[in-house]
Structure 1
Amino acid sequence: MRLLLADDEQELVRAIQVILESQGYAVDSVYDGKDAYEYADLAEYDGIILDIMMPTYSGLEVLEKLRKEGKQTPVLLLTAKAAIEDRIDGLDLGADDYLTKPFAMGELLARVRAMTRRKTILQPKIITFEDLKLDSDTMRISKDKEELKLSNKEFQILHLLMENPKQLFSAEQMIEQIWGWDTDVEMNSIWVHLSNLRKKLATLDVHVKIVATRGVGYSLEVTK
């Protein structure tokens, strides 16, 4: 699962990121509200951890902007112990939970697990496009009784395309959505994963394929 962590206390951010990554989460970290909003606006996250008091935009402003745009990514707010009104405002704006500073890392992990579990419950486990099915629990694609296992990145790419069928995504957009802005992954990595996905779709003989539009990007299209 991929999380966005936003707090201007850089030492705290580094400590939280180490703990979260040790539990298997992929974490993008930023230190001000503007970056938090831009990351959350452009990439897909399973959960966002937002400190309320940040430069540029406050956590509440970031939350308000995201909810007004229809983004329902679960949000955990980090608040000062005495900031009761901020906690109330955050919940009214659509926050899923809050945690007061200082906090124990064990409690943070429990809140994150609960937050991401709620999103998982709300999401369909099986996504269908034409005669292709993608199982989010097993990371397998199938047609009728035949199925194939995907790698983690293959799954994330196909999940993105199946949730947005016929929509064009450039290789750069895929990298930002899946690996994050600050990744050092090379462009040919996307091409390798796309090539592998195409082969697996062909093996299943589905009426779906990944189409490349020269100079623009890739989309998932129906073939007959």
Structure 2
Amino acid sequence: MKILLLEDDLILNEIITEYLESKNFEVTSTYDGEDALTKLFSSIYDILLLDVNVPNINGFEILQRLREEGITTPSIFITSLNQIDDLKKGFDVGCNDYLKKPFELEELGLRIDNLKKTFNIDANIIKIDENIILNTRDFILNNEGITHNLPQKEAKILIYLVNNANKIVTHEELISNIWSYEETPNASTLRTYIKNLRKILSEDYIQTKKGVGYSFNKK
């Protein structure tokens, strides 16, 4: 499971990173809001841990921008801001939990475990339906006993669509979350990936919203 950690206190950042890695999480740590935003628009994460008072772009602004872009990745604010107005603002911009500093690492672990249960996040497995399972570590999809080795980009497109099931995902949103800034896929490339996924899953799962994007119908 991939976690992005934004914490500008170098020592605390290192402590949290070591703790999460000891629990076998893959951690991307950053100390700066602008750098965090760049990473968030170039990679997919399962959970976000965001400090608020960080350089350049604060945590509230980062999460608000993500939510406005339709990115629904579960998030926890970890912050020393402990007034009720701060708590209210955190939830208003779209956080799923709010952890006040100082805190015990075990409490952070419990809150992450709770998000995993709430959002059905597994370290390696996404259950698309009763008969279709995707291993996100090696990108192997098992459909009723038949295995398919998905190319990385196809797998990441599928993961993103499943994580945003039953909502319209625009072409631009998919591209910004799957490809890095250096890569610029054209529309036909994206259509090819979607076509390949439909062959494996069936036509019913990924619906085209003409001129807009796609919607994944989770059953």
Q: Same fold (TM over 0.5)?
A: yes
CA–CA separation in structure 2 for the residues paired with 1:158 and 1:140: 11
> 1:221 aligned to 2:195?
yes
1:157 shift after superposition? 5.1
For residue 32 of structure 1, report the CA deviation from its aligned partner: 1.2
In structure 1, C-alpha distance between the alignment counterparts of 2:7 and 2:82, rounded to whole Å: 18
Whole-angstrom distance in 1 between the partners of 2:148 and 2:38: 33
User: Per the alignment, do residues 149 and 18 of structure 1 end up closer, same or farther by CA in structure 2, a change over 3 Å counting?
Assistant: farther
What is the TM-score when the length of structure 1 is the normalising length?
A: 0.64
CA–CA distance in structure 2, aligned partners of residues 164 and 98 of structure 1: 24
* 1:148 counterpart residue number: 147
Q: Which residue of 2 aligns with 1:160?
A: 156
- What is the DSSP-based 3-state SS (H/G/I as helix, E as strand, rest coil) of the residue aligned with 2:24? coil
Q: Counterpart of 2:127 in structure 1: which amino acid?
A: K
Aligned in 2, Cα 1:95/1:155: closer, same or farther, shift over 3 Å?
A: farther
State the 1:82 CA deviation. 3.5
> Is the CA contact (8 Å cut-off) linking 2:126 and 2:135 kept in structure 1?
no
Cα contact 1:5–1:30 (8 A) shared by 2? yes
Verify: 1:136 aligned to 2:134, yes or no: yes
Q: Which residue of 1 aligns with 2:128?
A: 126
In the superposition, relative to structure 1, how do residues 53 and 124 fare at CA in structure 2: closer, same or farther (>3 Å)? same
Unpaired runs of 5+ in structure 1?
Answer: 128-132, 177-212
Deviations 1:168-223 (A, max 9, x none): x99xx66x6xxxxxxxxxxxxxxxxxxxxxxxxxxxxxxxxxxxx9xx89835347
Kept after mapping to 2: 8 A contact 1:134/1:141: yes
Unaligned runs of 5+ in 2: 162-170, 181-185, 200-219
Q: After superposition, what is the alpha-carbon deviation per residue over 1:97-134, rounded to whole angstroms, capped at 9, x for unaligned?
A: 0111111000011111112332227x97227xxxxx74
In structure 2, the CA distance between the partners of 1:137 and 1:117, relative to structure 1 (3 Å rule), is farther
Q: 1:7–1:13: 8 Å Cα contact kept in structure 2?
A: yes
Residues 140 and 149 of structure 1 are in contact (CA less than 8 Å); yes or no, is this contact kept in structure 2? yes
Structure-2 change in CA distance of 1:18 and 1:49 (3 Å): same
When residues 164 and 83 of structure 1 are mapped into structure 2, their CA distance, relative to the original with a 3 A threshold, is: closer
- CA contact under 8 A between 1:76 and 1:115: conserved in structure 2? no
User: For residues 63 and 21 of structure 1, what CA distance do their matches in structure 2 show?
Assistant: 24
Taking the aligned partners of 1:148 and 1:77, their CA distance within structure 2 comes to 38
Q: Which runs of 4+ in 1 moved over 4 A?
A: 137-140, 154-158
- State the shift of 1:63 in Å: 1.0
SS in 2 for 1:125: strand
Quick check: 1:48–1:73 contact (8 Å CA) kept in 2?
Answer: yes
Ranked by relative contact order (alpha carbons within 8 Å, sequence separation 6 or more), the top structure is 2
Q: Tell me if the contact between 2:134 and 2:142 (Cα under 8 Å) persists in the aligned partners.
A: no
Q: Report % sequence identity.
A: 29
Q: How do 1:39-188 residues align onto structure 2 when only pairs under 5 Å count?
A: 39-80=39-80, 82-120=82-120, 125-126=127-128, 134-136=132-134, 140-143=140-143, 145-148=144-147, 158-163=154-159
Contact 2:134–2:141, Cα closer than 8 Å, also in 1: no
Alpha carbon RMSD of aligned pairs, Å?
3.7
Q: How many equivalent residue pairs?
A: 175
